[in-house]
Amino acid sequence: MISIILICICLMSNNYKIDGRMMESISQDDDLELDNQLKLINKPPLKTIQTVFGHIVDCVDINKQLAFDNPLLKNHKIQLKPSFQHGRTTLDENQRSATLSIEEDLCPIGTIPIRRTTKDDLIRLKHLSNNNGMLIEEVEGSHFAAVNLNGADRYYGIKGNINTYNPTVASKEQMSGAYISLAKGPSQVRNRIMAGWQVYPKIQGDVQTYFFIAWENKQNQTGCYNLQCPGFVQIDKKFHIGSPITSTSTFGGQQFEMSVAILLDPTTNNWWVRLEDKNLGYFPSTIFSDMSYADEGGWYGRTMTTLGNPSPPMGSGHFPDDRFGHACFIRQMTFQNETRKDIPPEMKLVGIYKDNPSCYDVKYTGYVDKSLGYAMQFGGPGGNCGD
């Protein structure tokens, strides 16, 4: 199924281009092809919801979601809740949840909300899959400001409360975001999971901030953002991936955040993604060539731009200055090792990574205070940061 979609997308001829808002017409054959793909991707809804953001959300039978088109999940037994326990995240009085306002419970029992894929979505994706057919392939013009786990341990989980912003991007190909990630393997065959927020018009369709998830299995050349390919099994019946995060922070003003976690299930070895206090769903262990644990990971600010073009701002667009509420932050950072306890990332357990400090910086000194816990600040204005 993955290969079918990718091949179809790659085969589509080049007689259309997305250029700003202009779209040249596509041939009748391509149009038919797109219709066929949409039929495969969009499962028959039991109910349909029109969101205030102009998206269509389908309530799809939880057992018939796209993930189960993946041949690797042919005999998969759906896991309705994780086998680990976890505490609730406590929101600080100074921080507000960025995602609470979009919780809705409109889908019938046994169904989950899925944002319907449109023809425009597929056309945008075609451009992404040009990188070897891998939808989340590393691109040049990518810059980081990050705190990395130092790789001296085996990792089973990672968490953080990520401050949300809406940095300005100059084109559909630019991305600016903040996320947590865990990965395993040498880079040529790496397996990886990411979760956080991003502004990335090519993926999301507009310049708003979105919660996103992504996975890749480089060994098998599979992976994608969100639910664009059969991989992630969604369990939560309220939150739909692809709903914009409208509560974003302002420099020195009201701060919003999202609490995100990636946790390995000790019983099934599925990788759960949590958002606020919800278990959104999981990446089944079987879609990875080897993700029995992670050997790298961390908390990232990242931007991307096309070759030769200036990079967009990261976070709030401001450099860290030790004043939380200025530069973008991630607080209450923890990870898990084999003990499956939340471990604070002491300085000796992590490294700082920034590839161009004149564009983006990161500041991390470990524990800050009770409310922030272990917290980092990162970001900057971008500009001519190199490729």
Ligand X SMILES: *[C@@H]1O[C@H](CO)[C@@H](O)[C@H](O)[C@H]1NC(C)=O
Q: In the structure encoding, which two tokens stand for residue 162, read together? A: 């990520």
Assess 289 for contact with ligand X (CB under 6 A): yes
Rg (C-alpha) for the chain, rounded Å, is: 20
Q: How many residues bind ligand X (CB under 6 A)?
A: 13
Options 111-119, 136-144, 165-173, 285-293: segment touching ligand X (CB under 6 A): 285-293
Listed ranges 26-34, 91-99, 239-247, 332-340: which one lies at the site for ligand X (CB under 6 A): 332-340
**Considering the complex, what minimum distance in angstroms separates the CB of residue 281 from ligand X?**
18
- What is the distance between the alpha carbons of residues 318 and 232, in angstroms, rounded to a whole number? 34
How far is Cα 50 from Cα 25, in angstroms, rounded to an integer?
27
User: What 3 state SS string does 43-83 have?
Assistant: CCCCEEEECCCCCEEEEEEHHHCHHHHCHHHCCCCCCCCCC
CA end-to-end span of the chain, whole Å? Answer: 34
Residue 350 CB, nearest approach to ligand X (Å) = 11
Q: Min. distance of Cβ 383 from ligand X in angstroms?
A: 38
Q: Does 290 bind ligand X (CB under 6 A)?
A: no
Interface with ligand X (CB under 6 A), residue from 220, 246, 269, 309: 220
**Per CB under 6 A, which of residues 362..381 are in contact with ligand X?**
none
Q: Are 318 and 251 in contact (CB under 8 A)?
A: yes
User: Rounded distance, CA 360 to CA 113, Å?
Assistant: 37
CA 117 – CA 230 distance, rounded (Å): 13
Convert residues 130-159 into a mask of x (bound to ligand X by CB under 6 A) and - (unbound): -----------------------x------
Regarding 343 and contact with ligand X (CB under 6 A), the answer is yes
Amino acid at 283: F
Decide: is 337 part of the binding site for ligand X (CB under 6 A).
Answer: yes
User: 132: burial class by Cβ within 10 Å (0-12, 13-18, 19+)?
Assistant: exposed
Among 120, 322, 338, 355, binds ligand X (CB under 6 A): 338
To which residue do tokens 């278990």 refer?
A: 279
Stretch that binds ligand X, among 156-164, 169-177, 199-207, 216-224 (CB under 6 A): 216-224
Q: Quick one: 98 or 261, whose CB is closer to ligand X?
A: 261
Residue 199, interface with ligand X (CB under 6 A)?
no
- Beta strand pairing call for 255-264 and 95-97: parallel
Establish if 334 lies at the interface with ligand X (CB under 6 A).
Answer: no
Based on the shown chain and the rule CB under 6 A, indicate whether residue 206 belongs to the binding site for ligand X.
no
Residues forming the site for ligand X (CB under 6 A): 72, 153, 217, 219-220, 222, 287-289, 337-339, 343
